[in-house]
Structure 1
Amino acid sequence: MENNPQNMYQMISLKDYLPPIGEKVLIYRPHAHLQPDQDSNFKIAKYIGEGIWIGSFFKHEITHWLPLIKPL
């Protein structure tokens, strides 16, 4: 992944890269806000492999992710 300040906060497509297993990341779920769930499209979740995420309802499609900013 390129270390370019312009792209620092660009979300990463799951088609391009999966997050490290066991790391909490910000995920994007494009349809989570729709009825009946009306949940947030963005959520913090942990990828544990095999397409399984902890912290996101299983039926919500996850398309993108972003590493969390680590405190200094």
Structure 2
Amino acid sequence: MKYRELIKKISDAAKAQGVAFDLVRQKGSHQTWVCGSTRVVIPKHTEVNELTGQGICRTLEPELGEGWWR
């Protein structure tokens, strides 16, 4: 999964749910984002491992709804 696709997917879902999705900080090759009240660290690489992307999406289920990413 491409980094840009992952960010766009989360951003679009957050906007649809009326939840804020904001970049908090960037350090090295990772970024910390906040979606509602959930913090998530997303690697800033061109390609994000598919399992890592699924794990990030699963972490955001409390904010965006169960199974939102499938």
Which band: TM-score by shorter chain?
under 0.3
Structure with bigger helix share is 2
Which of 1 and 2 has higher RCO (CA within 8 Å, sep 6+)?
1
Under a length normalisation based on structure 1, what TM-score does the superposition of the two structures give?
Answer: 0.26
Instruction: State which structure, 1 or 2, has the greater radius of gyration over its C-alpha atoms.
Output: 1
